[in-house]
Amino acid sequence: MTTSTTSLPAGFRITLDPGTAQLAEGLLFGGSPVRILRLTRIGRLAWQQLADGPVASPAAGALARRLTDAGLAHPCPPDGGRVTSDVTVIIPVHDRPTLLDRCLTALDGRHPVLVVDDGSLAVSAIAEVARRHGVKLVRRPVNGGPAEARNTGLEHATSELVAFLDSDCVPYPGWTDELAWHFADPLVAAVAPRITALATENSSGRYTRANGSLDLGDQQARVAPNTRVSYVPTAALIARRAALLDVARQGAVFDPVMRVGEDVDLVWRLHERGWRVRYDPGVRIDHHEPVTWGGLLARRFRYGTSAAALALRHPTSVPPLVLHPWTALTVAGLLARRPLVAAAAFGVANLAMIRTLRKADVPSRGVPGAMLTAVHQTWLGTGRYCTQFAAPLLIGLMAAKGRKPTGRRIAVASLLLGPPLTAWARQRPALDPVRFTLATLADDLAYGAGVWSGCLAHRTTIPVRPVIARRPLRIDPPRT
């Protein structure tokens, strides 16, 4: 890595994440993964400084870095905020000249643009669009996929920053400059905006706008494996060229072997080298979406096929489900209609958490409510996992005859229908609950089928193996 600074630079401010709470003086709860952070005396003074203004001392900078790394807070731009960036826009394209024309029309012309034609059949049409917009065109004679196309673009870029933009995106003028302030932090390697669906008004379009696979939500985050935002796509991404070269493998920044998931692999390699990647939903980029259910589900299947290749490269970064023993046993007891088992497991979960908190001298009020939330999240996660990877088994259980079939069917139905109905109630999309639920189930089934296909091709089961987490809550030592 090119730098070893441990402080957020002077001039930056921080804003607390909506999920962060102060349990007591010098005691913070929240982040991703969830943790409790205890501040030292110096840390409490730095905390007060950050509450009053920007980073102005080494202690405040160190605390700001720790809070933003943990997801307890997020950086705010230094005074001045908006900056002019030295950036080259790289657009890989494979046919679809009409979408390329729309993408180039939306750019503001402030930065050089490089279009990489990745072996298109519509050679003359792509060349004409590039000529009309006055942008540089590099043609690859053979289609190599997005990774190869972006690598080719990087070979022709010399600017400090590069902006990757897919040809099916519609950017807003100035989007690169609105994100460039993040790079005032020397540890930031890449920043991604929010990708919103540019979809039709049919049912698949309304579903995509409500539950698009590239839309990572409206909350900013540090991007890292096993956190709330574990990756960002390169459909639209600004990166520090030096950081990309720092993580290159055998001269290639993007893994040319990967036709899908190459962007996730890059983000995780940046994380492993100590770089920071940020998600900033304050900037939005529209993205063209498939217009039919067949196209939408085919894309989800294709995305799923990348899980196995990613798992082999990053074995601890792709758990499909993380279970904590006592909350998992509580859910199992409820599904099996064993209330005594569920109650006993829930009681032990509460006692274990209270013991952990008291041992660390942390207030234990509110534990039952927190554990109820954990049980609810475990139920939703288990339901979605079962839908994606074990749907035939669930359907078989619903159809099977035997003792107490009604109870078994209710339990299975709760796993299948609980997650999509909960999502519908939370989002209230422009789609009725029946169609939204059916669409979500089809979405999950297509993705799960893709994962299984990748597992068979790579001969691994890592992407479908749940992980048992022994520690329900992380309590960080008071280093700051």
Residues 271 and 392 in one domain: no
DSSP 8-state symbol, 413: H
Residues 286 and 358 in one domain: no
Residues 335 and 438 in one domain: yes
- Residue 378 parent element (H or E): helix 367-399
How many distinct structural domains can be found in the chain? 3
Residues 211 and 260 in one domain: yes
Task: Write the CATH number for 269.
Answer: 3.90.550.10
Give the C-alpha separation, 49 to 68, whole Å: 16
Distance of CA 99 to the CA centre of its chain: 26
Residues 125 and 191 in one domain: yes
Spell out the per-residue pLDDT of the chain, length 480, in tens.
644 458 999 999 999 999 999 988 889 999 999 999 999 999 999 999 999 899 999 999 999 999 999 999 999 988 765 556 789 999 999 999 999 999 999 998 889 999 999 999 999 999 999 999 999 999 999 999 999 999 999 999 999 999 999 999 999 988 999 999 999 999 999 999 999 998 778 888 889 988 888 999 999 999 999 999 999 999 999 999 999 999 998 889 999 999 999 999 999 999 999 999 999 999 999 999 998 999 999 999 999 999 999 999 999 998 999 999 999 999 999 999 999 999 999 999 999 999 989 888 888 888 999 999 999 999 999 999 999 999 888 877 777 666 666 777 888 999 999 999 999 999 888 889 999 999 999 999 999 999 999 999 999 999 999 999 877 777 877 766
DSSP characters over 418-458: HHHHHHHHHH--SS-HHHHHHHHHHHHHHHHHHHHHHHHHH
Residues 264 and 115 in one domain: yes
Q: 298 CB contacts (<8 Å, ≥6 apart)?
A: 290, 446
Domain around 437: 322-476
Give the C-alpha separation, 389 to 466, whole Å: 11
Rounded to 10 deg, the angle between the 433-458 and 306-313 helix axes is 50
Q: Is residue 4 part of a domain?
A: no
Residues 266 and 375 in one domain: no
Rounded to 10 deg, the angle between the 293-304 and 203-211 helix axes is 40
- 3-state class of 234 per DSSP? coil
**Considering Cα of 302, then 303, then 307, then 309, what sign does the dihedral take?**
positive
Residues 277 and 352 in one domain: no
Q: Is residue 305 part of a domain?
A: no
Distance of CA 286 to the CA centre of its chain: 17
Residues 278 and 413 in one domain: no
Model confidence, pTM:
0.93
- Nearest of 258, 219, 266 to residue 239 by alpha carbon: 266
Buried b (16+ CB within 10 A) or exposed e, 395-418: eebeeeeeeeeeebeebbebbbbb
Residues 121 and 211 in one domain: yes
Q: Is residue 3 part of a domain?
A: no
